[in-house]
């Protein structure tokens, strides 16, 4: 069936290319030549030739674009269809809530099996109940900051399912606040979870994937791992490390049929703002962060993000950036790094300054008073309930 679909797609593309070639070049050229040699219109030949040249230039550009776009689309469709999630085993860190749970729903919905790793047993129990009717689900309580627990979790998954086809490093923490309130421990904790935990998992799972003939690795980084953001220093530092690690191993693992995808999401409406940690002027920091994360024009629905991530995973796509705002920020930083630097300085002027010693305490968003109207975060609050974010300890 897959070969039949591929053949049909190629045949349709060939017919489309032939139609575009005839419609844009051959038929207009032939018609114009007949018109030019007609005695009745000799006076209009020169203006007509000029107009014809302009039209031909436009047609050539359209044809060139079509000839590039159509093969790209064909390859994209074939690669996506060529890797089904049915029967695959996916290990998802941080899979008990947020984006990890949404990814698990989609994988189970397509006939796959999931193993979820998280610290909170209550969250894991609720996630398992959520997914119970969808597919085979294994939940493992594991602290990703402890290497021995990672090794034990991987062994349990292989013992249960016999393999791990897909590794999705999705677990994360985010701490928001001025640099004055961030400590070495904040940076170390972020690095251990965002970089060292994926490193440990990749180190243990890649040898198994080689024996099984290949696999997929998806590292969920962030726009903060491409463009450093003020008041998110530990988060950005650790996400930059994950992005570099993911990009570095991609080429080396490709020879073993292991495809690595680096995902850089912008703001997503997962509902995780209530579990983010805040320092400094807690309530104000929570207010600007929540408002940004819930803004419809610059943030993305978690389900849509999950579909795009899994499609990129199936294709073996090297990189995926989510939201137009994130793409614009990355492109702007690449083309105009100095301008971006000045803009970040300007943004920082509008963010709250340092607080007194009470600002050194790290508080979850769910513990803080809301300074902005409820309608501003309505989409986020709905996602909090839907994605198991609301009752975390």
Q: What is the dihedral of CA 225, 229, 235, 237, to 10 degrees?
A: 60
What residue has token string 């998802």?
A: 92
CA distance 61 to 20: 12
In angstroms, the Cα distances linking 186 to 30, 164, 181, 238, 275 are 71, 32, 10, 10, 16
> What is the set of active-site residues?
235
CB 171 within 8 A of CB 94: yes
Distances (CA, A) of 242 to 61, 220, 270, 276, 387: 40, 8, 21, 19, 24
- CB contact burial 52-85 (16+ within 10 A = b; e otherwise): beeeeeebeeebeebeeebeeebeeeeebeebeb
> Could you give the strand order of the β-sheet that contains 277-278, starting from the edge strand earlier in sequence?
175-176, 277-278, 363-364
- 289 vs 2, 357, 386, CA distance in Å? 45, 21, 20
d(CA 60, CA 62) in angstroms, rounded, equals: 5
Cα gap 275→291, rounded to integer Å: 15
For 166-176, b/e burial (b = at least 16 CB within 10 A) is bbbbbbbbbbb
Question: What's the residue count for the chain?
Answer: 393
**Rounded to whole angstroms, how far apart are CA atoms 228 and 192?**
19
CA angle 109, 115, 117 (to 5 degrees): 125
């Amino acid at each position: 069936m897959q070969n039949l679909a591929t053949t049909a797609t190629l045949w349709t593309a060939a017919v489309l290319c032939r139609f575009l070639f005839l419609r844009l070049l051959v038929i207009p050229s032939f018609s114009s030549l007949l018109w030019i040699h007609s005695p009745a219109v000799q006076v209009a030949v020169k203006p007509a030739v000029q107009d014809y040249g302009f039209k031909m230039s436009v047609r050539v550009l359209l044809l060139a674009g079509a000839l590039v776009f159509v093969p790209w689309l064909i390859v994209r469709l074939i690669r996506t269809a060529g890797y089904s999630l049915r029967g695959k085993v996916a290990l998802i860190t941080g899979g008990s809530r947020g984006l990890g749970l949404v990814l698990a729903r989609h994988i189970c919905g397509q006939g796959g099996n999931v193993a979820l790793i998280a610290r909170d047993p209550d969250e894991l129990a609720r996630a398992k109940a959520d997914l119970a009717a969808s597919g085979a689900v294994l939940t493992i309580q594991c602290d990703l900051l402890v290497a021995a627990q990672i090794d034990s979790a991987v062994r349990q998954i292989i013992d249960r399912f016999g393999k791990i086809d897909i590794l999705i490093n999705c677990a994360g923490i985010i701490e928001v606040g001025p640099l004055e309130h961030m400590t070495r421990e904040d940076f170390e904790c972020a690095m251990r979870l965002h970089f060292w935990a994926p490193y440990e998992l990749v180190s243990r799972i890649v040898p198994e994937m080689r024996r099984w003939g290949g696999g997929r690795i998806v590292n969920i980084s962030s726009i903060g791992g491409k463009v450093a953001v003020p008041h998110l220093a530990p988060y950005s530092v650790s996400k930059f490390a994950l992005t570099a690690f993911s990009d570095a191993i991609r080429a080396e693992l490709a020879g073993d049929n292991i495809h690595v995808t680096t995902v850089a999401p912008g703001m997503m409406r997962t509902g995780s703002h209530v579990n983010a940690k805040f320092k400094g002027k807690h309530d104000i920091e929570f207010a600007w962060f929540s408002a940004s994360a819930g803004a419809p024009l610059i943030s993305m629905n978690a389900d849509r993000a999950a579909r795009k991530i899994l499609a990129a995973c199936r294709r073996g796509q090297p990189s995926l950036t989510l939201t137009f705002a994130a793409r614009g920020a990355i492109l702007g930083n690449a083309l105009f790094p100095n301008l971006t630097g000045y803009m970040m300085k300007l943004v920082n002027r509008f963010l709250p300054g340092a607080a007194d010693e009470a600002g050194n305490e790290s508080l979850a968003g769910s513990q803080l008073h809301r300074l902005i109207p409820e309608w501003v975060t309505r989409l986020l609050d709905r996602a909090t309930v839907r994605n198991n974010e609301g009752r975390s300890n």
